[in-house]
Structure 1
Amino acid sequence: MTDTPWLSGKKFRLAGCLLAGVSVASASVIDRAQAHADLSSLIRTLPVAAAVGLAAGCLYYLALRYVLPRLERRQADELWSGLNWFNLCALSLWLAILPLPAAYIDFGIGFVFSGGCARLASSVYVVFGASLSNRKRFANTFVMLALTIMLVITVVKASLALSLGLVGALSIIRFRTAIKEPEELAFLFFTVAIGLGFGAGRFGITLTAFWAICVGFVLFRRIQSAKHMENAFLVTMYGPGRDFLPSMTRFLEEHGLSYEFTRLETGDAANHVSFLVEIDSAGTLAALNDHFQERYPEANMTMVQARSLI
């Protein structure tokens, strides 16, 4: 989930926030004027709405500049990428001024916002999720899933016959890939809900619930202070050594490595100890291996990347 450099630049971030603010404020005024067929009111209020939108966009950008740098650089860039795509979606609100049937306008706005919300949800999941599997690879499916659900709901919502046909068509599909962690299932349901809401034309409720869930999840994770292990390795030691646990714990703490103790087995002939360790470089792997070989030449150690096990 890599965005082009121009999409991640500071100028583009500011422009995206300003466009989002102006689009929301101006499109709401235009839509209200069209509903009441009041062109004179539109001419008076549109410049004011544009100015209010610019001010709101500036505040939006400054708020994000204050909050996001408190995260790590890599995490902040990922969230900015998701927010940039969401901000671009606000431009779809200008579809309301086109002389098209309302069904096409609603579909266009819902389709674009489904993709934008799913893209932002994927960034939130990648940065704040606690799953040990490859979160970026899993989150790449969110946008396509949301758009597909939105399209299906748009097609079948006006026809009972199509709805029944959809049930029959989906009954032949078998999903054999198991969901390994509850958090993955929760975000899949969240993505499906985004597609359902926009497909049903409930834009306001869906956007409000989307932001409430995202902000609530972020706050919950920040309060929990969960450990994020992007490069987790399962380190297993087996052999006659009797001080595996204190020796390896001391080594990991001395090198500032994040770890979780997972398993301990003791016996007369051998002991078995396992850790889940965050290792970012090959040098750290080599140092850990050298330490173990020096202290326990008769024992065995295996190091396996955790995401390959899930």
Structure 2
Amino acid sequence: MDQFIDQLSLSFEDTFSPTQYIAYILLCAGLLFLLAVVYRRFGQSISNRAQLSKVLMIVGLTTFIIISIVKSSLALSLGLVGALSIVRFRTAIKEPEELGYFFMAIAIGLGMGANQLFPTLIGFIILMLIVIIQHKGGDSSITQNILVDMPCEADQRAVVIKNITDAISANTRQLDVKRIKHGENNIAINYLVKVKSFDNLNSINEKLVAIHSKVDVTFIDNSL
């Protein structure tokens, strides 16, 4: 019975080393920073990669802190299971690539929090090499925000939206409608698209002008 109680108690006094903790959390932050750089440079996600890369570092470091705390106590480990059972994500992850990078960040936090330096480093290096090799072997793409403002009568909105979307989607590899705003005599749509080359952007502009000569088209770079 006494042995079981001892297992439930904290043991930071015997095992915790401030110097080692600081060294490992700095190493963890360094690996997460490299992961964020790789994601921004080689990621294919159509979402804002700069914003998500910041979240990766927060997730990884939070995982590190949690694991470094609960690893020395069975009671805290059981409490963590209960706490995580009530967590709910309000925003769904839309792209599998984003989920993969989140798992990488969590794995780094788990490994470094458990003081598994070499397995974490080896796994991280192999994963980054795989990501870079896959990127080099694939086609490069351009991510753009397209803002379209076109004159439109109220009874023609549905037809105009379809024509605009068809003209853009025919020249893109991936398309996401971000915002649609209806004006009194116009319609404004914001698309986030991924195209193979700048020639596709020229084709999109020409097709939109063909729909209406007074269309206003704005291309905004979203590569970061």
Which of 24, 30, 43 is matched with 1:110 structurally? 24
1:237-276 matches, cutoff 5 A: 259-260=171-172, 276=193
Deviation (angstroms), 1:298: 7.9
Q: In structure 1, what is the Cα distance between the partners aligned to 2:192 and 2:149?
A: 7
TM-score by length of 2: 0.64
Answer whether contact 2:145 2:192 (CA < 8 A) is retained: no
Structure 2: give runs of 5+ residues left out of the alignment: 1-14, 151-158, 176-190, 196-200
One-letter amino acid of the counterpart of residue 260, structure 1: T
Which of 117, 122, 146 is matched with 1:233 structurally? 146
Which of 146, 153, 157 is matched with 2:67 structurally? 153
Deviation (angstroms), 1:174: 1.7
Q: In structure 1, what is the Cα distance between the partners aligned to 2:192 and 2:91?
A: 27
| C-alpha distance after superposition, 1:162-196 (max 9, x if no partner) | 11111222223221111010000000000000000
Q: In structure 1, what is the Cα distance between the partners aligned to 2:65 and 2:134?
A: 32
Counterpart position of 1:72 = none
Answer whether contact 1:235 1:303 (CA < 8 A) is retained: yes
Moved over 4 A (4+): 234-241, 298-307
Counterpart position of 2:205 = 288
Answer with 1 or 2: which has the greater Rg: 1
Answer whether contact 2:146 2:217 (CA < 8 A) is retained: no
Q: In structure 2, what is the Cα distance between the partners aligned to 1:275 and 1:138?
A: 16
Answer whether contact 1:236 1:275 (CA < 8 A) is retained: no
Counterpart position of 2:42 = 128
- Give the structure with the larger strand fraction: 2
TM-score by length of 1: 0.47
Which of 186, 189, 211 is matched with 2:125 structurally? 211
- Give the structure with the larger helix fraction: 1
| C-alpha distance after superposition, 1:233-253 (max 9, x if no partner) | 387995599xx86xx98xxxx
Answer whether contact 1:153 1:199 (CA < 8 A) is retained: yes
Which of 109, 112, 123 is matched with 1:195 structurally? 109
Deviation (angstroms), 1:199: 0.6
Counterpart position of 1:165 = 79
Q: Tell me how many residue pairs correspond in the alignment.
A: 175
RMSD: 3.9
Counterpart position of 1:224 = 138
Answer whether contact 2:112 2:120 (CA < 8 A) is retained: yes
| C-alpha distance after superposition, 1:9-35 (max 9, x if no partner) | xxxxxxxxxxxxxxxxxxxxxxxxxxx
Higher relative contact order (CA 8 A, sep 6+): 2
Percent identity between the two aligned chains? 31
Answer whether contact 1:260 1:275 (CA < 8 A) is retained: no
Answer whether contact 1:235 1:276 (CA < 8 A) is retained: no
